[in-house]
Amino acid sequence: MSGLIHLYYGNGKGKTTAAYGMALRAIAAGYGVMAVRFCKGSLSGEAEKLKELGALVYSCKEDERFIKELSDKEKDKLRINQDRIIEEVFEKEKESSDKGVRSFIILDELTQAFSKDLLDKEKTRKYLENKESETEIVITGRDPEEWMMDISDYITEFKCIRHPYDKGIGARIGIEY
């Protein structure tokens, strides 16, 4: 059975949580799990738990500021860091495949990294289009590029109907992160 590509997109809450829930199931089934948190800092309860269970989790940003708050120099540094991390993940996936271990990879907010031009698009696209056959991949984010839709085997749109943020209620630990 070959690995498939899942795309969770939209403006609704739950994309990352759904991806991490799948990662937990994959760990239980013996997959090597890696998660790349594009454009995100280190605050994430589920990421810490996945690490405790043996997953490799990469947070690309050094702080919790929004991308729009970063200087051009900080964006350049983030771009370099994200390119380095995704190359490392691609290499580890190949090594795992060579050892007969199936990989499960989360590319969290990949769509944002692309829309903000914070990642080598061509290299990443080429990898996804030619991934190791047993690797399962989950892509999350808001506005996927058309080619992401084309290569995905599962596509789920998350739509926000109501959110406490609209009432001035901020993100809560244990619920939103």
Q: pLDDT class for 11, splitting at 50, 70, 90?
A: very high
| pLDDT (0 to 100) of residue 42 | 65
Give yes or no for residue 44 having a pLDDT over 90: no
CATH code 3.30.360.10 for 5-167? no
**Average pLDDT, stretch 1-14?**
91
Spans of all domains in the chain? 5-167
- The closest alpha carbon to 17, from 44, 56, 51, 36, belongs to 44
Give the E-state strand segments of the chain in sequence order. Answer: 5-10, 32-37, 56-59, 103-108, 136-141, 154-158
Task: Provide the whole-model pTM.
Answer: 0.89
pLDDT in tens, 73-126: 888 888 888 888 899 998 999 898 889 889 999 999 999 999 998 999 999 999
Q: DSSP class of residue 12?
A: S
Q: Using an 8 Å Cβ cutoff, are 90 and 127 in contact?
A: yes
